[in-house]
């Protein structure tokens, strides 16, 4: 039985698959496309939505430190991702790396964790998109009734309650629209993303540049608000750590990049560049936006779904011209995040299905090189989740899933260096095992700072995954059946 749980895929077979038939996926992405995909996925909810809530609830103005902690963690993990993505250029991200390094059971565990990560990332961004779209529509006199513009359920005081709304329709709508682009093929999706990235980065730079003049430095005092009555995670340094854990999923984009390795022209060179360059650019943008945002608006007032739009409105007539651009840029920018996250989610289903651990229908590829059934399924479950559940619960689940994935990648680098030291590594993580250990340590520190309820929901998700594996995956595994 243990042999079945820890059976490993052969790395040579995986590389041969990516270089040969390629599973029907088409190699069309360049290094530039990877950088813009990374920016498209990373710059979104973290800036336009979560910055306000994390500042208000956890860290105050010192959320800039939270973003720096997360950025350092991401650079450490990103170096490990870069080695794997250049060495094993296949779809599936950490799932595929785990299958080769430690065997099937851990691969399924992390694959199921990635499903959680991408599902709730897409859903939370869709909810954030809904908030900005509603704000934009209000500005032109269009009002959607609450029963079709808010989540069905709300989580308050440790329990779920029915809000009275039917569904968050705008969130469901954007998921369906993005799916239509994805079904058109990776080239079309990348082109749409490039255009959107140019728009949203331009809008963010306008906000930072012109917003500097409206900063009230009194809003930065105290820079690190005093911890509330010894409550862990409510301001103080524990709040900074919890804030880092909550905003961490803002950097998820470079993980999404690794899922496209099988669709990259020269993954050995371009994947490391795409991951690290996009990460550095986005970290700088996050810190700059957070500083300006908390300088214009007192952090206590930022628990809203559209904090940057609120900051522009608070600035008054001087920035009134920027308000519609911010809202339009946020709507467009969040759309690109959903696009890349949906892309990553469908590729995870595709990779797991190729190995037989999920039904083979998810690995069917259409003539445009798109895993069509996986994409449609991802759209359905994402749309339902976005329409039914609130933003705060979704974002915490994404963070813990992302941190779990990054921790495992860092550890796997050390394992593979020991077990297969002779493998060709086009990119090598420097200072192994120091860098991977630091990366894993910072990730675990942020995970422990997350609320207990988030851990319990992760445990419940894991139990569901194990049930699926032992009832279906272990029996249908292609590796186990000698295929």
Question: What CATH number has the domain bearing residue 293?
Answer: 1.20.1740.10
Mean local confidence (pLDDT), 8-14: 81
Which residues of 211-314 form beta strands (DSSP E)? Answer: none
Higher pLDDT, 90 or 67: 67
Mark 245-265 as b/e (b = at least 16 C-beta within 10 Å). Answer: bbbbbbbbbbbbbbbbbbbbe
* Domain-located, residue 247: yes
Q: Tell me the percentage of the chain whose pLDDT exceeds 70.
A: 94
Among 168, 233, 191, 198, CA closest to 390: 168
Residue 211 pLDDT grade (very low, low, confident, very high; cuts 50, 70, 90): very high
Mean local confidence (pLDDT), 118-125: 85
* Domain-located, residue 481: no
Indicate the number of domains in the chain.
1
pLDDT at 21 over 50: no
Tens of pLDDT, residue by residue over 361-372, are 999 998 888 899
Tens of pLDDT, residue by residue over 264-275, are 888 888 888 888
Higher pLDDT, 135 or 347: 347
* Domain-located, residue 391: yes
- Residues facing residue 39 across a β-bridge: none
User: What are the tokens at 31?
Assistant: 């290094």
Q: Can you give the residue range of the structural domain that contains 63?
A: 2-476
* Domain-located, residue 28: yes
* Domain-located, residue 483: no
Mean local confidence (pLDDT), 40-58: 83
* Domain-located, residue 215: yes
pLDDT at 20 over 60: no
* Domain-located, residue 285: yes
């Amino acid at each position: 039985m243990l042999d079945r749980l820890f059976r490993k895929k052969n790395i040579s077979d995986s590389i041969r698959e990516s270089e040969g038939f390629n599973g029907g996926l088409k190699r069309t992405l360049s290094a530039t496309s990877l950088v813009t995909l990374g920016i498209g996925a990373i710059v979104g909810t973290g800036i336009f939505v979560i910055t306000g809530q994390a500042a208000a609830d956890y860290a105050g103005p010192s959320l800039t430190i939270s973003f720096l902690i997360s950025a350092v963690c991401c650079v450490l993990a990103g170096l490990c991702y870069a080695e794997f993505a250049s060495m094993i250029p296949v779809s599936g991200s950490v799932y595929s790396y785990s299958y080769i390094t430690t065997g099937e059971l851990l691969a399924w565990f992390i694959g199921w964790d990635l499903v959680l990560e991408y599902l709730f990332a897409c859903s939370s961004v869709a909810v954030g998109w809904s908030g900005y779209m509603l704000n934009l529509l209000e500005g032109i006199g269009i009002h959607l009734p609450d029963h079709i513009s808010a989540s069905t359920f709300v989580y308050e005081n440790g329990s779920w309650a029915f809000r009275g709304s039917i569904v968050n329709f705008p969130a469901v709508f954007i998921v369906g629209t993005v799916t239509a682009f994805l079904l058109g093929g990776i080239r079309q999706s990348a082109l749409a993303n490039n255009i959107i990235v140019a728009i949203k980065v331009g809008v963010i730079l306008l906000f930072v540049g012109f917003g500097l003049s409206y900063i009230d430095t009194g809003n930065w005092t105290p820079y690190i608000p005093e911890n509330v009555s010894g409550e862990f995670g409510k301001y103080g340094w524990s709040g900074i750590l919890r804030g880092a854990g909550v905003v961490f999923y803002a950097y998820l984009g470079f993980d999404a990049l690794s899922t496209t390795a099988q669709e990259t022209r020269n993954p050995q060179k371009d994947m490391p560049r795409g991951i690290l360059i996009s990460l550095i650019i986005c970290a700088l943008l996050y810190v700059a936006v957070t500083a300006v945002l908390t300088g214009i608006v007192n952090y206590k007032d930022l628990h809203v779904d559209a904090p940057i739009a609120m900051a522009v409105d608070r600035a008054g007539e001087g920035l009134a011209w920027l308000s519609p651009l911010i809202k339009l840029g946020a709507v467009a920018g969040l759309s690109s995040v959903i696009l890349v996250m949906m892309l990553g989610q469908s590729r995870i289903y595709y990779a797991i299905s190729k190995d037989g651990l999920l039904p083979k229908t998810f690995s069917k590829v259409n003539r445009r090189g798109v895993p069509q059934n996986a994409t449609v399924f991802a759209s359905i479950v994402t749309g339902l989740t976005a329409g039914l559940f609130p933003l705060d619960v979704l974002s915490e689940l994404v963070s813990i899933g992302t941190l779990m994935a990054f921790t495992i990648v860092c550890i796997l680098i050390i394992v593979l260096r020991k077990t297969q030291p002779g493998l060709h590594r086009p990119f090598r993580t420097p200072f192994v095992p120091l860098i991977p250990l630091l990366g894993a340590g910072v990730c675990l520190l942020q995970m422990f700072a997350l609320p207990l309820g988030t851990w319990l929901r992760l445990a419940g998700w894991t139990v569901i995954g194990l049930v699926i594996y032992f009832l279906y995956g272990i029996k249908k595994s292609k590796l186990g059946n000698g295929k």
